[in-house]
């Protein structure tokens, strides 16, 4: 089993715990609002990558109940929870490394913390692949953990029973990738985040508009 498959299995096993831990978190609410405000079209089609148990989906629909959301995740247990939490959204099992399996186009793409579980090549590919799915002037929401990509490491769950590889990326690296792929940043948000083990990190959120190549 490779690192990516191990991460998939871990998220599948931790789906309920993840849901319970983050269901009421509010620190990203401003970024959700800014994304929704940037989508000017009514009844916009939105693609969510790595939806987890549906926490972010719920926040978007509370702000913009007119959104038509396709929420996707690679973990079946996450999709099961997401369907229960957001019956008004559409859901689909999807590996974000295989975005070319999608045939529709979208007015907005939301990728909430997928990048920490994608190696460099997959990270770059995800951003490039998104340009084939997003409409002109569509809005891309992308969040990740700030850091040096060379410091990526294996991390354990709080009970020590599960492990996954976590990847870190710098602001400049992601900014350059977005620019190279025709995205124009409209908001950059930095959020300090304290983990249960006392360790602090910075979460970065880019909200960018696709201007084309």
Mean pLDDT of 146-155: 76
Residue 156 pLDDT greater than 60, yes or no: no
Mean pLDDT of 141-145: 97
Mean pLDDT of 103-114: 96
User: Structural domains in the chain?
Assistant: 3-210 (3.40.50.150)
Q: Check: CB of residue 204 under 8 Å from CB of residue 189.
A: yes
Lowest mean pLDDT across 58-67, 75-84, 190-199: 190-199
Lowest mean pLDDT across 7-11, 156-160, 197-201: 156-160
Q: pLDDT value at position 165?
A: 84
Q: pLDDT value at position 148?
A: 85
Q: Check: CB of residue 164 under 8 Å from CB of residue 155.
A: yes
Q: 22 vs 2, which has greater pLDDT?
A: 22
- Taking the C-alpha atoms of residue 36 and residue 34, their distance in angstroms, rounded to an integer, is 5
Tokens of 20: 């319970």
pTM: 0.90
- Taking the C-alpha atoms of residue 50 and residue 27, their distance in angstroms, rounded to an integer, is 19
Mean pLDDT of 74-103: 95
- Taking the C-alpha atoms of residue 30 and residue 82, their distance in angstroms, rounded to an integer, is 22
Q: Check: CB of residue 134 under 8 Å from CB of residue 140.
A: yes
Residues 6+ apart with CB under 8 A from 70: 45, 46, 47, 48, 89, 90, 91, 92, 104, 106
Residue 55 pLDDT greater than 60, yes or no: yes
103-to-21, 36, 140 alpha-carbon distances in Å: 34, 23, 18
For 89-107, write each residue's pLDDT tens digit: 999 999 999 999 999 999 9
**Angle, in degrees to the nearest 10, between helices 3-13 and 76-85:** 40
Residue 206 pLDDT greater than 80, yes or no: yes
Mean pLDDT over each residue of the chain, to the nearest integer: 89
């Amino acid at each position: 089993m490779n690192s990516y498959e191990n991460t998939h299995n871990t998220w599948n096993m931790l789906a309920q715990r993840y849901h319970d831990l983050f269901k009421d978190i509010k620190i990203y609410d401003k970024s959700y609002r800014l994304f929704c405000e940037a989508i000017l079209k009514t009844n916009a089609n939105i693609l969510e990558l790595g939806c987890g148990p549906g926490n972010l989906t719920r926040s978007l629909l509370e702000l913009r109940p007119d959104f038509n959301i396709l929420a996707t995740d690679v973990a079946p247990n996450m999709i099961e929870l997401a369907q229960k939490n957001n019956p008004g959204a559409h859901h689909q099992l999807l590996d974000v490394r295989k975005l070319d399996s999608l045939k529709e186009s979208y007015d907005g793409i939301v990728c909430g913390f997928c990048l920490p579980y994608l190696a460099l090549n997959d990270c770059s590919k995800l951003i490039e692949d998104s340009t084939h799915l997003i409409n002109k002037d569509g809005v891309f929401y992308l969040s990740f953990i700030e850091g040096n990509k060379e410091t990526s490491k294996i991390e354990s769950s709080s009970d020590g029973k599960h492990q996954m590889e976590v990847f870190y990326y710098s602001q400049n690296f992601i900014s350059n990738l977005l620019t190279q792929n025709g995205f124009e940043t409209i908001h950059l948000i930095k959020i300090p985040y304290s983990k249960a083990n006392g360790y602090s990190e910075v979460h970065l959120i880019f909200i960018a508009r696709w201007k084309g190549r």
